[in-house]
């Protein structure tokens, strides 16, 4: 495809924050791309936008960068390097680069085939059911940022999505018993918000997955995004809603590892993300050594889709899984390098949305094209649902292609 026209404009993401949308016209059709932002960010992430702001980036695409982009021929994944050579993410932010790359990929009928025409499977969805931490304002919610559900042995992506939705709805119906003031408020990612402790949230999920697993006939697991850096201060972990009996609790690193380990065993957790603060490679390694046979120990703030930080995590045996967020590193070329390195070292990769999302559908194509085993998209909300619907469509395309 050859870019014929390009235009950028400012839009709002699901959290009401300003971001960029890029529209291109090419010889094969039209494509649009827009980029999200996270509320919980690792300190090693690239800036989504420069200090000059979104308007500066929109003007740059529409004026000085336009002439360099028009006429570019992009026919395969490696051709995206041409875009990254023109748009410096250090000057214009990672979101600006990605919005153009997403628009280009979205102009193809099947972007996943541009990334890998031999892709044969779609990832399994991880859904956020109960929210806490940095995604929620106030101190009455759980300390952990996300209480997640997912299945690895479901028959199809559609079945897994439906099961996650059923759990999400069942938790809503039962939440009132734990929080009499529960009013169906949701987090940025569509997870339920309530005045409950970490333990109460886990107990609620355990009951729900037991019932839904029996109904659907496949095993559903609980996962956690602890986002421990968000409550780590002065070398310790400061809980404000630890349990229903004890709200305030302060743990050392060793105590935090023991606590997370106890939760893995008690609730049969199969996925724990950012259980320790973002510089504690050794602490992650201790947790992985003890529990990775039963649970995927995942880095997000620890690794920030950054090849150098991934190297350190690999060297220290810190993780068995990694979150992939393209706008943490600023472009798809480097994102794929991180995915390839992680997979070469037998790490589980989870492509992930951000809390401030847009209705761009590209995330599923990236997950399929890069071959990530998992994808975090959320369960509820139009920005999340458009991604789930797109992956269902891709799953159908792959099946149809197989039988042709």
**Which letter, b or e, does each residue of 95-132 get, where b requires 16 or more Cβ atoms within 10 Å of its Cβ?**
bbbbbbbbbbbbbbebbbbbbeeebeebbbbbbbbbbb
User: Of all helices (H) and strands (E), which one includes residue 340?
Assistant: helix 332-344
Of all residues in the chain, what percent carry a pLDDT higher than 70?
99
In terms of domains, do 176 and 105 share one? no
Query: Is residue 14 predicted with pLDDT exceeding 80?
Result: yes
Q: 370 lies in which domain range?
A: 124-403
In a domain, 115, yes or no: no
In terms of domains, do 47 and 133 share one? no
Mean pLDDT on 52-72: 97
pLDDT band at 402 (very low <50, low <70, confident <90, very high): confident
Is the separation of the CB atoms in 136 and 225 below 8 Å? no
**249 backbone dihedrals φ, ψ, rounded to 5°:** -155, 140
pLDDT at 61: 98
In a domain, 117, yes or no: no
**33 backbone dihedrals φ, ψ, rounded to 5°:** -140, 135
In terms of domains, do 382 and 266 share one? yes
pLDDT at 310: 98
In terms of domains, do 8 and 149 share one? no
**What is the maximum alpha-carbon separation in the chain?**
64
pLDDT at 139: 59
Q: Which residues share a beta bridge with 96?
A: none
In a domain, 199, yes or no: yes
In terms of domains, do 184 and 50 share one? no
**Single residue among 52, 79, 110 that ends a domain in this structure:** 110
pLDDT tens digits for range 364-375: 999 999 999 999
In terms of domains, do 261 and 178 share one? yes
- Which CATH number covers residue 303? 3.20.20.120
In a domain, 342, yes or no: yes
pLDDT at 178: 86
pLDDT at 116: 95
Q: Is residue 84 helix, strand or coil?
A: helix
Q: What is the pTM of this model?
A: 0.95
pLDDT tens digits for range 221-239: 999 999 999 999 999 999 9
As a whole number, the mean pLDDT across the chain is 94
pLDDT tens digits for range 247-266: 899 999 999 999 999 999 99
Where does 136-186 show beta strands of DSSP type E? 146-150
Is the separation of the CB atoms in 101 and 86 below 8 Å? no
Mean pLDDT on 90-109: 96
**Which letter, b or e, does each residue of 209-241 get, where b requires 16 or more Cβ atoms within 10 Å of its Cβ?**
beebbeebebebbbbbbbbbbbbbeeeebebeb
**Single residue among 55, 77, 110 that ends a domain in this structure:** 110
pLDDT at 38: 79
pLDDT tens digits for range 100-157: 999 999 999 999 999 999 999 999 999 999 999 876 766 578 999 999 999 999 989 9
In terms of domains, do 204 and 283 share one? yes
Query: Is residue 4 predicted with pLDDT exceeding 80?
Result: yes
pLDDT at 137: 67
Here the tokens at position 63 are 């004026």
Distances (CA, A) of 373 to 281, 305, 324, 403: 23, 16, 11, 23
pLDDT at 245: 85
What CA–CA distance (Å, rounded) separates 404 from 397? 11
Specify the number of domains making up the chain.
Answer: 2
Where does 334-403 show beta strands of DSSP type E? 348-352, 374-376
Which residues are annotated as catalytic? 189, 325
What CA–CA distance (Å, rounded) separates 257 from 193? 26
- Which CATH number covers residue 42? 3.30.390.10
């Amino acid at each position: 495809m050859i870019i014929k026209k390009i235009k950028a404009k400012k839009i709002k993401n699901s959290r009401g924050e300003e971001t960029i949308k890029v529209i291109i016209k090419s010889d094969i059709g039209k494509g649009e791309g827009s980029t999200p932002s996270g509320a919980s960010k690792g300190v090693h992430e690239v800036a989504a936008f420069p200090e000059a702001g979104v308007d500066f980036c929109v003007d740059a695409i529409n004026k000085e960068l336009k002439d360099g982009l028009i006429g570019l021929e992009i026919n395969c994944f490696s051709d995206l390097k041409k875009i990254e050579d023109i748009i410096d993410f250090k000057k214009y932010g990672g979101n600006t680069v990605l919005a153009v790359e997403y628009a280009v990929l979205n102009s193809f009928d099947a972007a996943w085939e541009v990334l890998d025409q031999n892709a044969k499977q779609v990832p399994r969805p991880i859904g956020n059911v109960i929210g806490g931490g940095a995604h929620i304002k106030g101190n009455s919610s759980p300390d952990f940022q996300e209480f997640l559900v997912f299945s690895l042995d479901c028959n199809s992506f559609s079945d897994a999505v439906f099961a996650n939705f059923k759990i999400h709805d069942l938790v809503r119906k039962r939440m009132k018993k734990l929080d009499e003031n529960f009013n169906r408020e949701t987090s940025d990612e569509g997870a339920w918000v309530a005045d409950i402790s970490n333990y109460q949230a886990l107990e609620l999920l355990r009951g729900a997955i037991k019932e839904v697993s029996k109904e659907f006939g496949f095993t559903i697991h609980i996962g956690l995004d602890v986002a421990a850096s968000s409550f780590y201060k002065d070398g310790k972990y400061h809980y404000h809603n630890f349990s229903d009996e004890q709200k305030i609790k302060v743990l050392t690193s060793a105590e935090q590892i023991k606590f997370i380990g106890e939760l893995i065993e008690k609730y049969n957790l199969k996925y724990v993300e950012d259980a320790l603060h973002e510089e504690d490679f050794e602490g992650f390694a201790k947790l992985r050594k003890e529990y990775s046979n039963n649970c995927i120990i995942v880095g997000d703030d620890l690794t920030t889709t950054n090849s150098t930080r991934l190297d350190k995590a690999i060297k220290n045996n810190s993780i068995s899984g990694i979150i992939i967020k393209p706008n943490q590193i600023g472009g798809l070329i480097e994102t794929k390098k991180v995915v390839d390195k992680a997979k070469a070292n037998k790490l589980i990769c989870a492509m992930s949305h951000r809390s401030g999302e847009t209705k761009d559908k590209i995330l599923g194509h990236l997950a399929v094209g890069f071959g990530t085993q998992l994808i975090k998209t959320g369960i509820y909300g139009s920005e999340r649902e458009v991604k789930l619907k797109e992956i269902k469509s891709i799953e159908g395309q792959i099946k149809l292609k197989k039988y042709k």
